[in-house]
């Protein structure tokens, strides 16, 4: 082992010494009077070199020695070496710089060095030569040939069309010197750019200058072969499913399916199916009818079986008969009636999805004695509307029946209309305490030219006792308010239309509603700091004021389930913990009638630890629920402070319950305030009188 170690050390010393000069003789270990090693090249300069490509062969000559030769490079980043055997090697340029190539006998006694300088050039590969089109191009292919360059490792072929778009890019190794460019369009000129390439398809790819040639593909006039195995797999009353096997032609693109027998719309059949599909369902066919389908193949150039250039190519055919149709179509949906005037109504609806739907048959029946109904009318499928001339002052029932092409009819859908000038959509909304009610309606659309109308609303108990009336209500008002009602009592409200020209009065069961005056959970909120009531002055301004009403709003808030979906909240603020109910607040008008608008804070910030004006407003239930639910949901904390003559601290469920509402203004009409606090209210701005003014029945 020690002897081997010494040999290795000696060899390394010899190599280092050998790198100092060329054609050096070191020692004599071959039992010869004089042994030596020499190189065929002592100094080498590789200029304008191509990395990994430019090379030079070197030979080592041994005198009086039978040892083999080992090759090495002092810097493989500049040159690398391939041992070719028989004491020869190939030196490859790798990068700019200088390096020594050493040839040493295997016994380590003789060595010689060649100094190599490498300078990479800007031209990394030379171009191919003798580029030409071989033979005549077909309608989809062009064959190219060339002579490779001596220093490229591959060839890159780029096909470009007349607009400059690259159609394809192909790589081949050197030594092949030909390529077939395919998938071209017929009768089209292309330019082919051919490059010598090194490190093809890598990040280090380098190209020679291009050599180009142009060629025009032949015109394709031949249709593809026909489909095979053409048949049908299923038949319905209005459809047939066809199947087939596509041909193998490279340019095959479509199967064109035709039939001279008409479909439900009276048109001949014509459908185009993309290659690779192998099946098609032909719909909207006439029931109980025989169809012969022709399946013609078409290529991407528009050549189709049976055209003027391919008359001998006969397409496949399939014959199939549809079954009889005994199924009625579905009914229309979404029927609505608009009374345009006392002599005109418009019906609208949505058709069913049946493919064989042909018509909607509309019939009318008069519910008023002595008045004839209009004749039946037939509306084509897809129209979805009909305007009908009717008689004034008449109630009608319209029936809409669907009909298919085979005469099958649906069960029908009914809709009613009246050409009496009646109000519609009558509804009631009671005040929080049940002592007032707001009646709303939609004005009549059954109007006569030149006539004007007013409305009268009457209220009565169920035993017939009058509870008041509101008269001469102008068109467009569409509401009337009654006060002085009794909670728990049922009332009947009738909205009547009064024609101005003759004071004729029109009402019906549809303009009369019966409802019971009910009470709601409602509170009045007063802040201890300023003693003012909290109420809206508008939908965008929530204020404190000494008045119990401002604008069209009152100080009463109706209590609802929290809009954030919670029912309780467990808090750890106000120096205590507790689980309490959550709620949201709906504003009321000056009559105490709920407005449908809910209190919410638009935004809050935990950085506001002192009282800050709140950006508060009212919003519809849907708007607030969608975007501000936790900023419109509250709970009452701090119940232990009731001994101080206030009942609670009002907090948002948002932000772990740390946001409290308060009043920090002594100005009548000052804004609602809030602050972020993890502890007790501490100051009277956050103390509230929460006065229940009514409780739900």
Q: How confident is the model at residue 124 (pLDDT cuts 50, 70, 90)?
A: low
Q: How confident is the model at residue 66 (pLDDT cuts 50, 70, 90)?
A: confident
Residue 571 has pLDDT above 50, yes or no: yes
Q: How confident is the model at residue 250 (pLDDT cuts 50, 70, 90)?
A: confident
Q: How confident is the model at residue 33 (pLDDT cuts 50, 70, 90)?
A: low
The pLDDT tens digits of the residues spanning 153-169 come to 999 999 998 877 888 99
Annotated domain spans of the chain: 2-120, 129-216, 228-321, 333-418, 424-516, 522-694
Q: How far is CA 104 from CA 8, 93, 156, 184, 582, in A?
A: 13, 21, 41, 58, 94
The pLDDT tens digits of the residues spanning 364-420 come to 998 777 778 889 999 999 999 999 999 988 889 999 999 999 999 999 999 998 888
The two structure tokens encoding residue 384: 């979805």
Q: How confident is the model at residue 639 (pLDDT cuts 50, 70, 90)?
A: low
Residue 569 has pLDDT above 80, yes or no: yes
Q: Which of 223, 282, 271 is nearest to 247 (CA)?
A: 223
| pLDDT given at position 350 | 97
Residue 574 has pLDDT above 80, yes or no: no
Residue 3 has pLDDT above 60, yes or no: no
| pLDDT given at position 528 | 85
Residue 257, classed as helix, strand or coil, is: strand
Which of 92-96, 194-198, 628-632, 637-641 is predicted most confidently? 628-632
Q: How confident is the model at residue 11 (pLDDT cuts 50, 70, 90)?
A: very low
| CATH class of the region 333-418 | mainly beta
Mean of the per-residue pLDDT values of the chain: 89
- Average pLDDT, integer, range 353-366: 94
| CATH class of the region 129-216 | mainly beta
Q: Which of 424, 425, 437 is nearest to 506 (CA)?
A: 424
Residue 359 has pLDDT above 60, yes or no: yes
- Average pLDDT, integer, range 426-430: 96
Domain 424-516 classified CATH 2.60.40.10?
Answer: yes
The pLDDT tens digits of the residues spanning 331-345 come to 999 999 998 888 899
Residue 22 has pLDDT above 90, yes or no: no
Residue 558 has pLDDT above 70, yes or no: yes
| pLDDT given at position 15 | 40
Matching fold, domains 228-321 and 333-418: yes
* Percent of residues, the chain, with pLDDT higher than 70: 93
| pLDDT given at position 630 | 96
Distance CA 644, CA 637 (A): 14
Least confident span in 288-292, 473-477, 640-644: 640-644
Q: How confident is the model at residue 208 (pLDDT cuts 50, 70, 90)?
A: confident
What CATH number does domain 228-321 carry, 2.60.40.10, 3.40.50.300, 3.40.50.720, 3.30.420.40?
Answer: 2.60.40.10
DSSP label at residue 625: H
Element (H, E) at 583: strand 578-589
| pLDDT given at position 345 | 93
| pLDDT given at position 697 | 75
- Residues 561-564: contacts with CB under 8 Å, at least 24 apart: 562/629, 562/633, 562/634, 562/653, 563/598, 563/621, 563/624, 563/625, 563/629, 563/632, 563/633, 564/629, 564/630, 564/632, 564/633, 564/653
| pLDDT given at position 641 | 45
CATH of domain 2-120: 2.60.40.1080
**Sequence-ordered list of residues with C-beta below 8 angstroms from that of 389, at least 6 positions apart, any chain:** 343, 344, 374
φ, ψ of residue 471 to 5 degrees: the values are -120, 170
Residue 678 has pLDDT above 90, yes or no: no
Query: b/e per residue, 602-619, with b = 16+ CB within 10 A?
Result: eebeeebeebbebbbbbb
Instruction: Please give the CATH topology (third level) of the domain spanning 522-694.
Output: Trefoil (Acidic Fibroblast Growth Factor, subunit A) (2.80.10)
* Percent of residues, the chain, with pLDDT higher than 90: 70
């Amino acid at each position: 082992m020690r002897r081997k170690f010494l040999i290795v050390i000696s060899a390394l010393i010899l190599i280092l010494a050998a790198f100092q000069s060329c054609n050096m003789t070191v020692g004599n270990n071959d039992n010869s009077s004089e042994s030596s090693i020499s190189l065929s090249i002592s100094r080498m300069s590789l200029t304008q070199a191509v990395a990994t490509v430019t090379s030079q062969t070197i030979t080592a000559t041994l005198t009086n020695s039978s040892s083999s030769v080992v090759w090495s490079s002092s810097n493989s980043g500049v040159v690398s070496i391939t041992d070719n055997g028989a004491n020869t090697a190939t030196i490859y340029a790798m990068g700019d710089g200088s390096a020594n190539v050493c040839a040493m006998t295997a016994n380590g006694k003789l060595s010689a060095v060649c100094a190599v300088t490498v300078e990479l050039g800007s031209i990394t590969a030379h171009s191919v030569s003798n580029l030409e089109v071989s033979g005549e191009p077909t309608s989809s292919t062009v064959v190219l040939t060339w002579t490779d360059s001596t220093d490229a490792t591959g060839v890159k072929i780029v096909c470009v069309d007349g607009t400059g778009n690259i159609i394809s890019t192909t790589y081949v190794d050197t030594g092949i010197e030909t390529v077939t460019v395919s998938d071209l369009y017929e009768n089209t000129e292309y330019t082919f750019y051919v490059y010598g390439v090194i490190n093809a398809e890598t990040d280090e790819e380098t190209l020679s200058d291009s050599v180009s040639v142009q060629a025009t593909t032949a015109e394709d006039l031949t249709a593809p072969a026909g489909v095979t195995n053409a048949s049908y797999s299923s038949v319905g009353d209005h459809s047939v499913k066809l199947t087939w096997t596509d041909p193998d032609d490279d340019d095959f693109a479509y199967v064109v399916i035709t039939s001279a027998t008409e479909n439900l719309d009276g048109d001949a059949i014509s459908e185009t199916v993309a290659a690779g599909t192998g099946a098609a369902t032909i719909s909207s066919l006439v029931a109980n009818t025989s169809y012969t389908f022709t399946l013609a193949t078409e290529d991407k150039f528009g050549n189709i079986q049976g055209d003027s250039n391919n008359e001998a190519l006969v397409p496949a055919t399939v014959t199939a008969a549809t079954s009889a149709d005994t199924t009625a179509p579905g009914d229309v949906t979404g029927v609505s009636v608009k009374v345009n005037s006392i002599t005109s109504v418009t019906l609208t609806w949505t058709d069913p999805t049946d493919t064989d739907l042909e018509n909607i048959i509309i019939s009318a029946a008069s519910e008023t004695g002595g008045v004839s109904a209009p004749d039946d009318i037939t509306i084509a499928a897809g129209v979805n509307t009909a305007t009908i001339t009717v008689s004034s002052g008449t109630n009608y029932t319209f029936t809409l029946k669907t009909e298919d092409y085979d005469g099958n009819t649906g069960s029908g859908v009914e809709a009613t209309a009246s050409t009496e000038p009646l109000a519609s959509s009558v509804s009631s909304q009671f005040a929080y305490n049940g002592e007032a009610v707001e009646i709303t309606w939609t004005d009549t659309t059954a109007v006569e030219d030149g006539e004007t109308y007013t409305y009268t609303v009457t209220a009565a108990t169920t035993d017939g006792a009058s509870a008041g009336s509101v008269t001469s209500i102008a068109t467009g008002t569409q509401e009337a308010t009654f006060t002085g009602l009794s909670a728990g009592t049922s009332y009947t409200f009738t909205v009547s239309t009064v024609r101005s020209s003759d004071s004729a009065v029109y009402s019906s069961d549809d303009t009369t509603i019966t409802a019971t005056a009910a009470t709601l959970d409602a509170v009045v909120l007063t802040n201890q700091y300023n003693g003012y009531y909290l109420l809206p002055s508008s939908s965008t301004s929530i204020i404190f004021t000494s008045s119990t009403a401002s604008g069209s709003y009152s100080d009463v808030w109706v209590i609802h389930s929290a809009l954030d979906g919670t029912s309780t909240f467990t808090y750890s603020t106000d120096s205590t913990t507790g689980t309490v109910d959550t709620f949201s607040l709906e504003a009321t008008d000056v009559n105490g009638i709920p407005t449908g608008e809910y209190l919410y804070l638009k935004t809050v910030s935990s950085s506001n630890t002192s009282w800050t004006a709140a950006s508060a407003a009212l919003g519809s239930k849907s708007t607030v629920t969608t975007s501000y639910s936790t900023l419109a949901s509250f709970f009452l904390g701090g119940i232990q402070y009731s001994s101080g003559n206030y009942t609670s601290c009002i907090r948002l469920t948002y932000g772990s319950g740390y946001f409290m509402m308060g009043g920090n203004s002594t100005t009548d009409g000052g804004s609602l305030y809030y602050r972020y606090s993890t502890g007790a209210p501490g100051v009277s701005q956050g103390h509230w009188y929460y006065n229940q003014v009514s409780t739900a029945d």
